[in-house]
Structure 1
């Protein structure tokens, strides 16, 4: 996205003016005052407050798949955040697809999420059976399927089943756009599908049974930019996804420009502030990135500044930034703070303690390194990183 366009978006958002919706169609529920209020809490990451309001919307609109999908969205992202699975460093390379990872699925939460997803699809099916051109129902069904796919892929690591859901979600969103090209929110699901399938390594396509199915990164990014600029229910999500995809492509300056539009709109969103620090680290900004992480931590320590701040994510990023500057002792301490944080997710704990052990080895602290490796193994014994930790228990990590 051109710098001039980004600057214009920042001006609009800071002025509190929405990008022109005159030519954009959407479900009327997306403009409901209670829905907008719920989304404000959602993007401030106050998930309990958002869920309480979406539950009221859900109760007030029985048999409406959009109302059900709104509640499903909040429930899923609350759970992903609880498990530290909204850390974009986890998805910025293909190791996410190929490694064995540690997650701690809560069956009660899973059942609630799947029940809401089934409910939304059933409600949409009922409406589509009476009117196959019901754009609102098609969009809601596609969105619900995409949300369920997100949970299945990120928590259960069920990539084959997840991509089958994604394919159905894309079909729904694509049909909605064919019926109404101005239903811009549907660009989100279709754009993500196009980009992800276009970016998948060929061996992985064979593995999940997607050989021969094509996608286009260029087309996907164009659709996401449209949703980011003009979408009503999808603008924030589209720009968030854009930053992740730009990060994967090492286009860090462009990604920083996009994430700063999100920070301007939602300054109390912990993950948007954290993402700017992540991007500055990946861009090789060295101590500027270190300072950015420390600023995030300082803000999180201000009472009430963030509704919810999982500091282990910032400490892990800080460790990475310090490690990149060869400040191995400080990096190890930051990683250990991440790993020792109360209620840290198992995946992040394994990653943190493995990295801490490596930095302790590089700093000549072999006994402490061995302790950290053992903690990584204990946190996720069947993971790929635990296998690495076992290797370094036998012989010190040398950086090779």
Structure 2
């Protein structure tokens, strides 16, 4: 039975997290394509691993804007990102351990967080599908569908270790992201999903990549890192996520100068983040401050 790199998930979602945050701030655009102060604050909390504060912010915005799918996506992302963090997935210890990187976590994920995650995911998809009925190319709906599929793929593969089930979600995320980018090439955050998928699949053995190729799933490590770079430089809500993914990929590729640059930037932007501080300390052989140890 084929085991698809579970991280190919976390990477796709929160996760994928994997769609688009456009630079053009048109008043007709939804929250995914403009700077919304409340959401920006929520993501800042998320990247500092202040999960209750992030979730409270997202839930408040979601309640006020039930028809915008991005609010539901943000709530789902808060649950998934927290679980990935608690399980130590977004670290060099995980990325540099091939057994864990390609198979997934030990044990089971937290049941409560997973219930919250799947509930928010359902709301996001329902909202997106309602918009799709009126416009099949609706960028906000495609953004939400990309992230929803990417995040579910992450959860299935890396947390629940249902690797074959995650393949369907990977393909859905890829298809939605492609449609989104064709309509909105400025949607830089969409490159996160594609970049993660390309990089992780590119890390698989030749036999597994050959099997996936027949299923319509391809992989290229170099291309994946180039795509992550686009999101890391031009993304909006997912820019920090793209940076940590690119930094961890750089660690695997022994590109320590690139990893050091990205981790230093993340550490400076989010000084209260135990994740970024710990990863920067590990790379630079510095002690991890006691107050931020995970």
Q: Do the structures match in fold with TM over 0.5?
A: yes
Aligned length, in residue pairs: 268
Offset, 1:91? 2.2
Structure 2 CA distance for partners of 1:221 and 1:97, relative to 1, 3 Å: closer
Structure 2 CA distance for partners of 1:193 and 1:104, relative to 1, 3 Å: closer
Match for 1:172 among 146, 167, 176?
Answer: 176
Contact in 1 for aligned 2:23/2:186 (Cα 8 Å): no
Structure 1 Cα separation of the partners of residues 197 and 169 of structure 2: 11
Offset, 1:27? 4.1
Structure 1 Cα separation of the partners of residues 145 and 80 of structure 2: 16
What's 2:9 paired with? none
TM-score (norm 2): 0.83
Q: Is it true that 1:116 corresponds to 2:120 in the alignment?
A: yes
The structure with more radius of gyration: 1
Match for 1:28 among 26, 31, 53?
Answer: 31
What's 2:48 paired with? 44
Structure 2 CA distance for partners of 1:160 and 1:279, relative to 1, 3 Å: farther
Relative contact order higher in (CA < 8 Å, ≥ 6 apart):
2
Q: Is it true that 1:271 corresponds to 2:263 in the alignment?
A: no
Structure 1 Cα separation of the partners of residues 23 and 52 of structure 2: 33
* Pairing of 1:85-124 with structure 2 (within 5 A): 85-96=89-100, 102-124=106-128
Match for 2:212 among 210, 220, 235?
Answer: 210
What's 1:8 paired with? none
What's 2:147 paired with? 143
What's 1:181 paired with? 185
What's 2:289 paired with? 297
CA deviation digits over 1:50-97, x for unaligned, max 9? 111100011111132111001111111122223333333112242125
**Alpha carbon RMSD of aligned pairs, Å?**
2.2
Secondary structure of the residue that 1:31 maps to in structure 2?
coil
CA deviation digits over 1:94-118, x for unaligned, max 9? 2125568522333332222112212
Q: Is it true that 1:152 corresponds to 2:163 in the alignment?
A: no
CA deviation digits over 1:321-341, x for unaligned, max 9? xxxxxxxxxxxxxxxxxxxxx
CA deviation digits over 1:261-297, x for unaligned, max 9? 11111111111111113324xxxxxxxx1xx1x2x23
Structure 2 CA distance for partners of 1:197 and 1:27, relative to 1, 3 Å: farther
Structure 2 CA distance for partners of 1:171 and 1:236, relative to 1, 3 Å: same
Structure 2 CA distance for partners of 1:161 and 1:99, relative to 1, 3 Å: closer
Contact in 2 for aligned 1:83/1:103 (Cα 8 Å): no
Q: Is it true that 1:63 corresponds to 2:67 in the alignment?
A: yes
Contact in 1 for aligned 2:38/2:61 (Cα 8 Å): yes
Structure 2 Cα separation of the partners of residues 184 and 97 of structure 1: 26
Contact in 2 for aligned 1:202/1:211 (Cα 8 Å): no
What's 2:247 paired with? 243
Structure 2 CA distance for partners of 1:98 and 1:177, relative to 1, 3 Å: closer
Contact in 2 for aligned 1:246/1:255 (Cα 8 Å): yes
Offset, 1:229? 0.9
Contact in 2 for aligned 1:196/1:215 (Cα 8 Å): yes
Contact in 2 for aligned 1:83/1:104 (Cα 8 Å): no
Match for 1:252 among 243, 252, 256?
Answer: 256
Contact in 2 for aligned 1:188/1:238 (Cα 8 Å): yes
Structure 1 Cα separation of the partners of residues 190 and 178 of structure 2: 7
Structure 2 CA distance for partners of 1:100 and 1:114, relative to 1, 3 Å: closer
